[in-house]
Amino acid sequence: MTTSHYIAGHWVEGQGSDCISVNDPALGQPFAELMAASVSQVDQAVAAARSALPAWKSTCASERAAFLRGFAEQLGQRREALVTVQMRNNGKPRHEAEIDLDDAIATFGYYAELAEQLPSKNRTVPLAAPGFTARTRLEPVGVVGLIVPWNFPLVTSAWKLAPALAAGCTVVLKPSEVTPLIEQAYGQIADALGLPAGVLNIVNGKAETGAALSNHNGLDKLSFTGSNSVGSQVMRSASAQCRPVTLELGGKSAIVVFDDCDVDQAVEWIVAGISWNAGQMCSATSRLLVQDGIADALLPRLQAALENLRVGNPLTEEVDMGPLTSQAQWLKVASYFATAREEGLQCLAGGHALDREGWFVSPTLYTDVPKDSRLWTEEIFGPVLCARRFATEEQAIAEANDSRFGLVATVCSADLERAERVADALEVGHVWINSVQAVFVETSWGGTKGSGIGRELGPWGLSAYQSIKHVTRCLG
């Protein structure tokens, strides 16, 4: 049993009723367990964050920046342990676990820099009216609840924690019950750095714990990353209390491949966009739109590339793709394989669970998928790619935009003018041209339509934790 809740600067045992099993998805076996936090422990965490707020928001920004740099350094010092726990609990291949850690390190480093620049953002506002002066103050929003999913645990938490702490907010973080051990590193680092008690609190648990946090009337804001169904519940709680919310939700993103592409290069981008993290990415480019002139050459090579991916246990084998992270996700993806069979979809690769221990599925490709198929419209969250052909640029844009989601898109074309034009026309939060899933901390993250509300990363990620105040004085 693991002690797993960090409240008011102390590690405490969970007093909730749920026992959480922490699984190795490559074996389909638990390797640790912990008790969830109780509702009253969530109260204690919020109270701790509230009492730590006045002192933390009054620290000078450079002091907060020093703590953030400390987080970046300490993450680096824990590299092997953090890479291993992600491989074991998420099923990530080693190189992907390394990328996640490096992303988290870069995020803390970046927001340390932005924290240092904060004083210069509090500035005079030139007024046309005579007889008055005005100045801006950017203040922390206050106590924030942060609820995150399991697919990129180090990363989704860092994208919230680092800007929230930089802004001067105090936080209660609730990691996913699927991967509850990974973000414990943030509590251990807070301990090691001597972060004042209550500035960062971590409570683990399932839906009950998440709901206790998102419904809590002691929060000033809730930032949530996860599914649309839970996101809408979180938004209802926020609306009941008229308080701000950031939502980073699901996606069903398009990758548009024009016929002037190098076929092998395009195949590489398509495969990466659907197989990284075994397709368990909000930003997976799971809808392939391929132009008529290249489709016949591209699809067989794509089929071969997917079939050649080395799928296995990242802890014991050299792999390109690991298992799905949870049994629930494995069952969900398997249910889409069944739907595809019922709908009579044409399967060019995979389409089944692997016949071995653990929660593995084959990288999968369906072609000529009808626009009204559930596989074309719904987020599957697995290595399942659906393809359709298009003739013209206008058709590609219309089909890419025909989705209730709007997170990201990838455009592949040798004609850069066209690629830029298409990027401008896509109704999403982020477009990659001739690259795939290239996330930089300086650029924003977040979606349009059903993919969420608000932005993370870049200066927008910091603004999400700031409140704008103006002070206007009559010179009288």
Q: Which residues bind ligand NAD (CB under 6 A)?
A: 147-152, 156, 174, 176-177, 206-207, 210-211, 214, 225-227, 230, 233-234, 248-251, 282, 379, 381, 407, 445, 451-452
Residue 146, strand partner residues: 173, 223
Nearer to ligand NAD, 295 or 407 (CB): 407
* Residue recorded with tokens 């997170």: 407
The enclosing H or E element of 459 equals helix 458-463
Tokens coding 306: 């997917």
Instruction: Please state the closest distance from residue 124 (CB atom) to ligand NAD, in A.
Output: 36
Nearer to ligand NAD, 220 or 379 (CB): 379
Backbone CA torsion sign across 278, 337, 369, 248: negative
For 422-429, the CB contacts below 8 A with 24+ separation are: 422/256, 422/393, 422/396, 422/397, 425/397, 425/401, 426/254, 426/397, 426/400, 426/401, 427/401, 428/253, 429/455
Check if the beta carbon of residue 422 is closer than 8 Å to that of residue 444.
no
Radius of gyration, alpha carbons of the chain: 23
Q: Tell me the helices (H) and strands (E) count for the chain, helix number first.
A: 15, 21
Nearer to ligand NAD, 214 or 413 (CB): 214
Instruction: Please state the closest distance from residue 67 (CB atom) to ligand NAD, in A.
Output: 25
Nearer to ligand NAD, 312 or 450 (CB): 450
Instruction: Please state the closest distance from residue 229 (CB atom) to ligand NAD, in A.
Output: 7
Instruction: Please state the closest distance from residue 288 (CB atom) to ligand NAD, in A.
Output: 18
Instruction: Please state the closest distance from residue 83 (CB atom) to ligand NAD, in A.
Output: 19
Nearer to ligand NAD, 174 or 221 (CB): 174
Tokens coding 419: 């690629």
Nearer to ligand NAD, 93 or 250 (CB): 250
DSSP state of 353: B
Catalytic residue among 116, 177, 248, 399: 248
Does the active-site annotation cover 183?
no
Alpha carbons 80 and 315: distance in angstroms, whole number: 13
Instruction: Please state the closest distance from residue 314 (CB atom) to ligand NAD, in A.
Output: 20
* Burial classification of residue 420, based on how many CB atoms lie within 10 Å of its CB (0-12 exposed, 13-18 middle, 19 or more buried): middle
Which residues are marked as active site?
248
